[in-house]
Structure 1
Amino acid sequence: MKDMRIRKMVFAALMAALTYVATMVVQIPSPMQGYVNLGDCCVLLSGWMLGPWWGGAAAGIGSMLTDLLNGYAHYAPGTFVIKGCMAIAAALLAKAMGNKAAGYAVSGVVAEVIMVAGYFGYAALLLGKGIGAAASIPGNLVQAAMGLVIGLVLFFLLKRSKVLDKLALQ
């Protein structure tokens, strides 16, 4: 039991670091504003591989670090909550749907809806942008689609290669 807890903690730290790196290193310029990154696929992978609580912590911390270390500290609290909720929702829904391919797809879509709605609400209400926050929705939808597709592909590749069985995190 203690060994599993340590294993999950170490893997959660690894996933938090990987989320930060995937967000910062792989940046694809977007015509919508800013850039698209691979952070969301790591957020989803964290939830699916580590479960809701460790996965939520890894996703929230890794994503929040990106904001803190890159001049977006005003987004850090929202990012921590939004990305953590994404991973928690993805993990719980996938489990509730029997850990089947369709369940992972549905849980990923719901998680990405949380991201788009969460950032709109955070910017509109807490950052005071009002309806102007809607301008970020198209870019977040592109980010969501890319994160979902790449996250699903990576997850099923890891599953097929038996890497997840060897890690024995669930």
Structure 2
Amino acid sequence: MICERGENMNNNRTKKIVFSALMAALTTAATMVIHIPSAFSGYIHLGDGMVLLSGMLLGPMAGAAAGGIGSMMADLLSGYAFYAPATLIIKALAAFAGGYLYKHLRSRSRSGGFRVLPFLTAGVVCSAVVTGGYFIFELAVYSWPAAISNVPFNLVQNLFSLIAAGALLPVLLRVREIRELNRETAS
């Protein structure tokens, strides 16, 4: 019995590591597939939806790693290496905040399925972290006009990412393995 429990824990840990790597790769891909340059050295993409989903599905810590690394890799592969360190930190914080809020707000719900209020709350906070994080970074690196000029683009990106994540989350929660991982993460 003890051996079986240890094997089950190793199996769950392996699944979480594999799923974290998959979410990092999906974050990279979603960031790079739709890639619309914005006003000042940035670009609009759907990767933030994957960052949010990483936090919600994997939990705050693993979600932060997947969202941060996946987003940073997209910057490195897309020629935005200058942004990569800031992206790692900002997106990791966004996934952590979104995952933490989603976990705690969902724990109050009796249902294991999709819940709109926890999703929207986590999504808005995640978006605020991303928009605020890049504003602070660009304010420090460039100037006030440059930093403020990217805010509307970041807000548009966050809106589309929130819509994409909202469309994907209910579908993903129907997959047994993801539902089990999410239930484990929520406890």
Do they fold alike, i.e. is TM over 0.5?
A: yes
Determine helix, strand or coil for the equivalent of 2:44.
Answer: strand
* Alignment of structure 1 residues 1-170 onto 2, 5 Å: 1-27=9-35, 29=36, 35-98=43-106, 100-125=115-140, 127-160=141-174, 162=176, 164-165=178-179, 170=185
CA shift at 1:84, angstroms?
A: 0.6
CA shift at 1:165, angstroms?
A: 2.2
AA of the residue aligned to 1:77: P
Distance (Å, rounded) in 2 between the aligned partners of 1:121 and 1:83: 14
Cα offsets for 1:96-130 (capped at 9, x unmatched): 212532011111101001000000001111x2334
Structure number, greater radius of gyration: 2
Determine helix, strand or coil for the equivalent of 2:79.
Answer: coil
Structure 2: stretches of 5+ with no match in the other structure: 1-8, 108-114
Question: Which TM-score applies when normalising by structure 2?
Answer: 0.82
AA of the residue aligned to 1:41: G
CA shift at 1:40, angstroms?
A: 0.8
Question: Which TM-score applies when normalising by structure 1?
Answer: 0.89
CA shift at 1:160, angstroms?
A: 4.0
Question: 1:30·1:139 contact (CA, 8 Å) conserved in 2?
Answer: no
CA shift at 1:131, angstroms?
A: 4.2
Distance (Å, rounded) in 2 between the aligned partners of 1:83 and 1:55: 10
AA of the residue aligned to 2:122: S
Distance (Å, rounded) in 1 between the aligned partners of 2:96 and 2:23: 14
Between 1:66-75 and 1:109-118, the stretch displaced more is 66-75
Question: 1:63·1:79 contact (CA, 8 Å) conserved in 2?
Answer: yes
CA shift at 1:6, angstroms?
A: 1.2
Question: 2:30·2:45 contact (CA, 8 Å) conserved in 1?
Answer: yes
AA of the residue aligned to 1:38: L
Distance (Å, rounded) in 2 between the aligned partners of 1:160 and 1:13: 20
Q: Percent identity?
A: 42
Between 1:35-44 and 1:106-115, the stretch displaced more is 35-44
CA RMSD in angstroms comes to 2.0
Determine helix, strand or coil for the equivalent of 1:98.
Answer: helix
Question: 1:32·1:138 contact (CA, 8 Å) conserved in 2?
Answer: no
Equivalenced residue count is 168
CA shift at 1:161, angstroms?
A: 5.3
